[in-house]
Amino acid sequence: MRVSIHKLQKMKNEGDLIPMVSAYDYTSAFIVEDAGIPIILVGDSLGNVVLGYDSTIPVTMDDMLRHTQMVVRGTKKAHIVGDMPFMSYQTGMNDAIRNAGHLIKKGGCKSVKLEGGEPVVDIVKKLVQFGIPVMGHLGLTPQSINQLGGYKVQGRGDIASKKLLNEALMLQDAGAYAIVLEVVPAKLAEEITNVLDIPTIGIGAGPKCSGQIQIFHDMLGMFPDFSPKHSRKYADISKEIKTAVQHYIKDVKNGDFPSDKESVQ
């Protein structure tokens, strides 16, 4: 049986910090669940790290459905969150309900995530009423990058911080079961976490959230020339892969691969 939103709430209530990872395919999902991750986000960040776009904006519902299905097939126990891509819910209530329903029914995830505060509160409320668990997302919201003017810290200053806090409360009141806080000052994230009853999941939001999320590719060093400030590199897989491939190239050119052991007799 998969981890439920009620289990995640219990973890929050008991002070058990929640580790969360963004993963995008069968293999990575299988590995992180086997390592013990209780919740996986199939993030629209796949636009950047898998599809090669410079933002999440081009990601489509078809992209999200396909990758969510991959992650679901690679797992048995983890709670899977499907990200609602840009313009899959902003175009109206009917589109939001239809697309969230597709992610649950066709994608196989157990909840959906969407970005924004006050403008999406009614959508969150309606989805929850229809039995679709919703994770909110405040702070740096990558789908709004053109409006924000870049990947900048959000919630600085009294007015901005008060707005974020109020929107977090609004999302909670609308029925969101958790909220991602991305690139907001650590003190503000701590305040929001203390005020809310539901879990907060931080990314670049300091250590006092109810949990943390990291992108699979970032934490494993898959991109040697890029490491976000809020990411900790737990391995240097890019270097290991490059070394392995260079070794393979050398063996092929020298006639050392395949050997008799690796050949059919």
The catalytic residues are 182
Q: How many residues does the chain have?
A: 265
Strand partners, 212: 19, 202
Nearest to 66 by CA among 31, 92, 48, 42: 42
Give the span between the Cα atoms of 140 and 30, in whole angstroms: 29
CB-based burial, 212-251: b 16+ in 10 Å, e otherwise: bbbbbbbbbbbeeeeeeebbebeeebbeeeeeeeeeeeee
* Cα end-to-end distance, the chain, whole Å: 46
- Enter the DSSP assignment of 122: H
How buried is residue 151: exposed, middle or buried, by Cβ count under 10 Å (0-12/13-18/19+)? Answer: middle
- Tokens representing 168? 């977090």
Which segments of the chain does DSSP mark as H helices, in order?
A: 5-13, 26-35, 46-49, 61-73, 93-102, 121-129, 145-148, 158-174, 186-195, 216-219, 237-253
